[in-house]
Chains A and B, each alone.
Chain A
Amino acid sequence: MGDAPKITSPSGESESARVLRLRPHLLPLLRLRVWLGERFKPTELQTTLMWAGLVGFFGALSSLLFRELTTGVHYLLTHSSKALVDSFYAMPPWQRALTPMLGGALAGTTIFFGMRFARSKSTDYMEAIVLGEGNVPFRSSLVKSASALFTIATGGSIGREGPLVQLAAMVASLPGRFRKWPAPRRRLIVACGAAAGIASAYNAPIAGALFVAEIVLGSVAMESFGPLVFASVIATMTVRGSPMIGDNPLYRVPAFRLNASWEILPYAALGVVAGMAAPWFLRFLRLCETWFEKSRLPLTLRLALGGAMVGGLAILHPEVAGNGYSSINDILQSKWTWEVVLGIFACKVLATGATFGSGAVGGVFTPTLFTGCGLGYLIGCGFHALWPHSALMPSAFALVGMGAFLAATTHAPLMAMLMVFEITLDYAIILPLMLGCVIAYYLSIGIEPASIYSESLKRKGARLFDEQLSNLRVLDLMKTSPPVIPVTAEFNEIAQNFISHRFNYLYVVDADRHFLGVVSLHDIKPYLNEPEMADVIIAEDILREDFPTVTPNVPLAQALEYFAHHDGERLPVLEEGKHTLLGSVSKSDLILAIADRAKAESAPSPV
């Protein structure tokens, strides 16, 4: 052994310069990211949940804005700041007749001119969720909402929940489009928007989530139901925070009780009547639609004619104006005799047929609730007359009638019973309500297989949707341009990438973008406190080459098998035979797409 050598001591400056390559703020940030990642491990589904919350908030804001605008337009056109029905009561007969007609003409004109500005004619959010790519067109949604604004503000017998849901769904489709999400996730977020719209329209978060799950998605799988619930809750909290809504139930109901078990039987009878009447109500609405279409009038005139019919009926009964909300409250408070209710009920059904049939933009949800309410009340009056000393209250029948009729027209009994429970917050009604909803639903689907919503979807070609889904391959769900690093990437560059992206694996490529392997956050995690690693480690040193990959033409089911043996959230997608990195596919998108396909294959009807 020779003498000990003299150490060529490197200058302090150059050594510190090397250490500084790992910028001081980077390691604490990376440690925080690992700490958060280990404790919260945000998967794509959890990120979707976050987006669902945002969509719920902004969807609710759009609902509040629409309500304000409705009040504003009503004031502009009638100089009345009262509620719709009160306002119509105060009008002279000529004004009652002309106001909905003027609204119809304005609504038609808006569509006529607005559709030149819109790029796409189809705005239906259900179509976007079930059949489409999850895109709700921005311009045409605004045009149709503006048209609905005129119809609703001038007393058209149609629900404002239609445009509220449309606007919320349109707001929800924006992040998916800008962030270029795959179609299944875009559809889910639009569904969240729709749920937020219903929840904020009725102050009913459970029904909001169930409306979309039961009617539109046809599934309560947690992958989709969780985000729907989250969006609904956030939307409801948002509208409850506004002075317009508050946290009161939408409808005030008198106390209800069952004195004896047999008293539930008349409610079962109401379920039978509602189940048989609902298909005829749907057929009546379609008949009105056909009649208006056959008239071959231009849209503006058609809507004005529909408005004039509502106006004519409003001369007899001003209660027909609007969606029926205030009339439902009056019926529930037993303000009217059965003869008066019968008159209003008949006129309201005709007014709804006129508005809906003329092609006005809006929802039929609240008018359906009114029809069920009126029907239930009248039947309740009949039972009360038969057994005057029993506790059978017509207003309780009105409540159960709302739920039963809704279940029978929407084919969504769970949503219907929870909706009525939520908008009244009266638990005592739950037993007769559940019974009535289920009986009405089973009877109605025997008579009329299509629900109020499935009809429009059927027209839009659900078969095409089935074909689209069965042909889905990895390519259809692939996200392009995933973050990549070169093999020469130093420790600080690797750390920076793990901070910027919440992935656990970084893809490593060569200069020609050939996939070489991954760097795992798990591998470098123990060394995050050791800045000296920055001096010696590059991506090549910690590259894991044995990482599973897929090619673009792999069917979805096969891709899912890869995930079964892999704990990562994403898989790299490589060009067939060339190993060029094309993009990545995520497990969440895959599960959502396969759930969609399973639903499409098993469901007898498109919704």
Chain B
Amino acid sequence: MTSIAAQLLHPNRILLDLTATDKNEAILEVAGIVRAERDVTNFGGFCEELLARDELRSTAAGYGVAFPHARTDAVRDLVIAAGRSAAGVRFGGETVNFIFVIGTPREKVSDYLVVVGGLARALRAEKTRVALAAARTPEEFITVLGK
């Protein structure tokens, strides 16, 4: 399942050096990667829903990773983008180094679970997070996730 996320992650959709230090800014910075994507039909709406979902309950998973996501009509197909912050971004009481922004069409509950489940499983392993932290290029980043 991890490989599915890896397949969806194009090198262009990965930012290895996030500049934002604020949670919302960081989410929007990662989301900004897919602004011009064909499958994102309403970027503004997508961002609003991402922030609203995080407001409802923090999307930080507890091990330095956050999954801001939205099931929304603002995307036509599943989109995913990733960002890495060396300094870390505070998500409530947690410091997050990896942010995976996920957008799925409203009716695709299963797709969302497949991607999030795969990523969560892979990223809970500390060695994966260490390898991702050490990745020097987006391609390496994807290779680590695909393992």
Interface residue ranges, A against B (CB under 8 Å): 1-10, 14-15, 18-19, 487-488, 490, 520, 523-524, 526-527, 530, 532-533, 535-538, 540-546
Tell me which of B61, B107, B126, B135 contacts A536 (CB under 8 A). Answer: B61
Q: Does B8 belong to the interface (CB within 8 Å)? A: no
Contact with A along B84-123 (1 / 0, CB 8 A): 1111100000110100000000110110110011001100
B62 within 8 A of partner (CB)? yes
Provided the pairs A6-B133, A524-B113 are in contact, do residues A530 and B120 lie with their beta carbons within 8 angstroms?
yes
Q: Which 8 A-B pairs have the closest CB atoms?
A: A5-B86, A18-B62, A535-B61, A532-B120, A7-B133, A4-B134, A8-B88, A8-B95
B57 within 8 A of A: yes
Q: Is B147 an interface residue (CB 8 A)?
A: no
Tell which of A8, A488, A542, A546 touches B113, judged by Cβ atoms closer than 8 Å. A542
A542 touches B112 (CB 8 A): yes
Whether B120 pairs with A535 at a CB distance below 8 angstroms is yes
B63 engages A5 (CB within 8 Å): no
Please give the distance in Å from A408's CB to the nearest CB on chain B. Answer: 63
- Contact between chains at B17 and A1 (CB < 8 Å): yes
Question: In the complex, A217→B108 CA distance in Å?
Answer: 47
**Given contact pairs A10-B94, A488-B56, A545-B106, A536 touches B116 in the complex (Cβ within 8 A):** yes
CB-defined A-B contacts under 8 Å, sample of 8: A3-B86, A15-B62, A18-B61, A532-B121, A541-B71, A541-B112, A542-B112, A543-B109
Give chain B residues whose Cβ lies under 8 Å from the Cβ of A546. 107
- Chain A residue nearest in CB terms to B124: A532
By CB atoms of chain B within 10 A, which of A8, A488, A540 has the most? A8
Shortest Cβ gap from A23 to chain B (Å): 16
The CA of A526 and the CA of B53, in the complex, are separated in Å by 24
- What is the distance, in angstroms, from A498's C-beta to the closest C-beta of chain B? 15
Chain A residues lying within 8 Å of B87, measured Cβ to Cβ, are 5
Chain B hits for A541, CB < 8 A: 53, 69, 71, 112, 116
B117 touches A530 (CB 8 A): yes
- Whether B133 pairs with A540 at a CB distance below 8 angstroms is no
B residues contacting the other copy or chain, number (CB 8 A): 40
Chain A residues contacting B67 (CB-CB under 8 Å) are 536
Give the distance to chain B from A393, nearest Cβ to Cβ, in Å.
73
The minimal Cβ–Cβ distance linking B135 to chain A, given in whole angstroms, is: 7
Question: With an 8 A cutoff between CB atoms, is B42 at the interface?
Answer: no
Q: Is the interface of B mostly helix, strand, loop or mixed?
A: mixed
- Among residues of A, the one whose C-beta sits closest to the C-beta of B135 is A4
A15 contact set on B, CB distance < 8 A: 62-63
Task: Give every chain A residue within 8 A of B133 (Cβ-Cβ).
Answer: 4-7
Q: Which residues of B contact A490 (CB under 8 A)?
A: 57
Q: Which residues of B contact A3 (CB under 8 A)?
A: 86
14 further A-B pairs in the complex, CB-CB below 8 A; given A526-B117, A540-B56, A546-B107: A1-B136, A5-B86, A5-B133, A8-B97, A14-B62, A15-B63, A18-B62, A523-B110, A526-B113, A532-B124, A533-B117, A535-B120, A538-B57, A542-B113
Chain B nearest CB: distance from A290 CB in Å? 70
Q: Chain B's nearest CB lies how many Å from the CB of A391?
A: 74
Check A10–B63 contact: CB distance below 8 A. Answer: yes
Task: Give, as a whole number of angstroms, the nearest-CB distance from A5 to chain B.
Answer: 2
Q: Bound state CA distance, A532 and B71, in angstroms?
A: 20
* Closest CB in chain B relative to A531 CB, distance in Å: 9
A7 touching B117 by the CB < 8 A rule? no
Return B94 CB to nearest CB of chain A, in Å. 7
Complex Cα gap A541–B137 (Å): 31
Taking CB atoms, residues of chain A closer than 8 Å to B64 are 7-10
When distances are taken between beta carbons in the complex, the residues of chain A under 8 Å from B124 are: 532
Instruction: Judge whether A2 and B109 touch: CB under 8 Å.
Output: no
Interface string of B2-38 (1 = CB under 8 A from A): 0000000000000011000000000000000000000
Chain A's closest residue to B86 (CB) is: A5
A5 in contact with B85 (CB, 8 Å): yes
A526-B113, A545-B106 known; A2 and B86 CB under 8 Å? yes
Q: When the two chains form their complex, are residues A527 and B63 in contact, meaning their CB atoms are under 8 A apart? A: no
Most buried by A among B17, B113, B121, B135: B113
User: Are A523 and B57 touching (Cβ within 8 A)?
Assistant: no
| B113 neighbours in A (Cβ, 8 Å) | 523-524, 526-527, 533, 537, 542
In the complex formed, the residue of B with least CB distance to A5 is B86
Given A1-B16, A535-B61; A9-B56 close (CB under 8 Å): no
CB distance from A518 to the nearest CB of B (A): 11
Decide yes or no: A2 and B106 within 8 Å by CB, A532-B121, A536-B67 being known contacts: no
* CA gap between A3 and B16 in the complex, in Å: 9
Measured between beta carbons, the chain B residues less than 8 angstroms from A545 are: 106
B116 x A537 contact (CB < 8 A): yes
- With A542-B109, A545-B106 given, is the CB distance from A5 to B97 under 8 Å? yes
- For B107, what are the chain A residues with a Cβ–Cβ distance below 8 Å? 546
Chain B, range 37-91, C-beta contacts under 8 Å to A: 53, 56-57, 59, 61-64, 67, 69, 71, 84-88
Assess whether A487 is in contact with B56, with CB atoms less than 8 Å apart.
yes
Bound: A536/B130 CA distance, A: 21
What CA separation (Å) do A488 and B54 show in the bound complex? 11
Residues of B within 8 A of A543 (CB): 71, 109
* CB nearest neighbor in B for A545: B106
Residues in A neighbouring B56, C-beta threshold 8 A: 487-488, 538, 540
Please name all residues of chain A whose beta carbon is closer than 8 Å to the beta carbon of B88 when the two chains form the complex.
Answer: 8
CA distance A520 to B110 in the complex (A): 11
Complex formed: what's the CA distance from A537 to B57 in Å? Answer: 10
Give the nearest-CB partner of A7 in chain B. B133
In the complex, which residues of chain A have a beta carbon less than 8 angstroms from the beta carbon of B106? 545
Contact B16 A2 (CB under 8 A): yes
B-side contacts of A4, CB under 8 Å = 86, 133-136
Q: Return A12 CB to nearest CB of chain B, in Å.
A: 10
Q: Give B111 Cβ to nearest chain A Cβ, in Å.
A: 11
Q: How far is the CB of A538 from chain B (nearest CB, A)?
A: 5
Distance to closest chain B CB from A316 (angstroms) = 82
Q: Given the complex, which residues of B lie within 8 Å of A5, measured CB to CB? A: 84-87, 97, 133
